[in-house]
C-alpha cells in the first residue's frame, strides 16, 4: 500500500508519496506562512521511519519552490532531484537561491528520460546491507537531445519561463495504480514533442500547469494514456480546461486530496466535507484521511 497526497495550496503544487517500501518522495512545494508549519509537520510525521527521502523539483518557478528554504531547514534535504539546468531569475527569492544551491550541490540527481537510481527505480542494499525496495518512480521525459527541450533550457537560462523544462514523472505501484505528473508543461511545447515519447496507460493524471487551458494535454496523449481520472489543480476558474469527457476531481472545490493506493484499487479522500463525485464505487470506507468520496477500481 502507498499514500499519495496532493495539498490544496492555492496557485501552486505540493505532493508527497509515502511508498510501501522504505521511500518517501516529495514533489514540489508551495508553502505560505499560513500553511508551512502544518504541512511540514505532516511531512515529518509521515516520513518517519523511512530510510530514503527525496525531493523532486519539476521546475524552479516560485509556485513550485515557495517555502523550499523552510522545508530544507526543517528536514535537511539530502536527495534533490531536478533536470540539469542553468535557470536564472531577474528577481531571486530566498527559495530560488536555495534551489540553485541544491541544484548545484553534491545532493543533486539530474533527471532525464530513462534515468535509473537506487532507490528511485532500483531495489538494493544500503551501505549497511539493509535491503530497500524501489519507489516505483520512473522518468519519461526529458529527452535531453531534443531541440525543443534544448530551446526550453536556453529560455530558462536567459531568465524566461522554466515551465517547459519540467520532467514527466510516472509513479506506479506493483499490482496497483499508475500516476503521471507533468509539472507546468505548456500545450504548444507538448504538441512539439508528442511524437518523441511513449506514454503508458494511466489511472490518475495530474493536469499540467494546474489545469490551465495553456497546459491542456494533447488529444493524442490523452488517447494514449486513457486516464481514468484527471486531477485539475487550483488555477483561476476562468483559465481552467475542465477536460470534458473525462472523469475529474477539481482541487479548487475538493481541497486536499489523498489517495490510498492498494492492489487493484485507489480509495480517494478530500478535505472538503461537501465535495462528491458520481463516478467512483462506494466501499463505505471510514473517513480515515478526510472525507471519503469513493474508490477507483483499476
CATH (domain of 72)? 3.60.15.10
What pLDDT, on a 0 to 100 scale, did the predictor assign at position 170? 98
What pLDDT, on a 0 to 100 scale, did the predictor assign at position 35? 96
What pLDDT, on a 0 to 100 scale, did the predictor assign at position 124? 94
Per the structure, the count of domains in the chain is 1
pLDDT digits (tens, 9 = 90+) for 148-194: 999 999 999 999 999 999 999 999 999 999 999 999 999 999 999 99
Low-confidence spans in the chain with pLDDT less than 50? none
Beta bridge partners of 277: none
99, 57 contact by CB (below 8 A): yes
Q: Which three cell numbers stand for residue 255?
A: 481541497
What pLDDT, on a 0 to 100 scale, did the predictor assign at position 224? 98
8, 31 contact by CB (below 8 A): no
Q: Which three cell numbers stand for residue 27?
A: 514533489
pLDDT digits (tens, 9 = 90+) for 11-40: 999 999 999 999 999 999 999 999 999 999
**pTM over 0.75, yes/no:** yes
- Its domain, for residue 10, covers 2-297
**Signed CA dihedral, 245, 246, 252, 254: sign only:** positive
CA atoms within 13 A on the CB side of 175: 6
Give the position of cell 495539498.
7
DSSP 139: E
What pLDDT, on a 0 to 100 scale, did the predictor assign at position 87? 98
Q: How many residues does the chain have?
A: 298
Q: How far apart are CA 96 and CA 114, in angstroms?
A: 27
Amino acid at each position: 500500500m502507498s499514500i499519495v497526497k496532493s495539498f490544496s495550496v492555492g496557485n501552486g503544487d505540493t505532493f508527497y508519496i509515502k511508498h510501501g517500501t522504505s521511500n518517501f518522495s516529495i514533489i514540489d512545494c508551495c508553502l505560505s506562512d499560513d500553511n508551512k508549519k502544518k504541512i511540514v509537520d505532516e511531512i515529518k510525521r509521515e516520513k518517519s521511519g523511512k530510510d530514503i527521502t527525496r525531493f523532486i523539483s519539476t521546475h524552479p518557478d516560485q509556485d513550485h519552490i515557495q517555502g523550499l528554504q523552510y522545508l530544507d531547514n526543517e528536514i535537511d534535504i539530502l536527495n534533490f532531484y531536478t533536470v540539469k539546468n542553468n535557470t536564472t531569475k531577474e528577481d531571486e527569492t530566498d527559495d530560488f537561491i536555495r534551489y540553485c544551491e541544491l541544484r548545484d550541490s553534491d545532493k543533486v540527481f539530474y533527471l532525464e528520460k530513462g534515468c535509473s537510481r537506487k532507490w528511485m527505480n532500483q531495489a538494493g542494499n544500503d551501505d549497511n546491507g539493509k535491503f530497500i525496495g524501489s519507489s516505483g518512480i520512473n522518468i519519461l521525459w526529458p529527452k535531453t537531445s531534443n531541440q525543443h527541450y534544448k530551446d526550453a533550457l536556453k529560455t530558462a537560462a536567459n531568465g524566461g519561463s522554466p515551465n517547459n523544462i519540467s520532467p514527466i514523472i510516472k509513479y506506479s505501484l506493483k499490482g496497483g495504480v499508475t500516476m503521471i505528473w507533468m509539472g507546468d508543461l505548456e500545450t504548444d511545447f507538448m504538441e512539439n514533442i508528442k511524437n518523441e515519447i511513449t506514454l503508458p496507460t494511466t489511472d490518475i493524471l495530474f493536469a499540467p500547469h494546474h489545469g490551465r487551458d495553456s497546459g491542456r494535454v494533447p488529444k493524442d496523449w490523452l488517447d494514449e494514456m486513457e486516464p481514468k481520472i484527471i486531477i485539475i489543480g487550483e488555477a483561476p476558474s476562468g483559465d481552467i480546461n475542465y477536460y470534458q469527457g473525462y472523469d475529474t476531481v477539481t482541487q479548487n472545490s475538493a481541497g486536499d486530496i489523498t489517495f490510498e493506493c492498494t492492489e487493484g484499487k485507489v480509495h480517494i479522500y478530500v478535505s472538503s466535507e461537501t465535495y462528491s463525485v458520481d463516478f467512483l464505487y462506494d466501499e463505505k470506507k471510514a473517513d480515515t484521511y478526510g472525507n471519503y468520496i469513493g474508490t477507483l477500481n483499476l
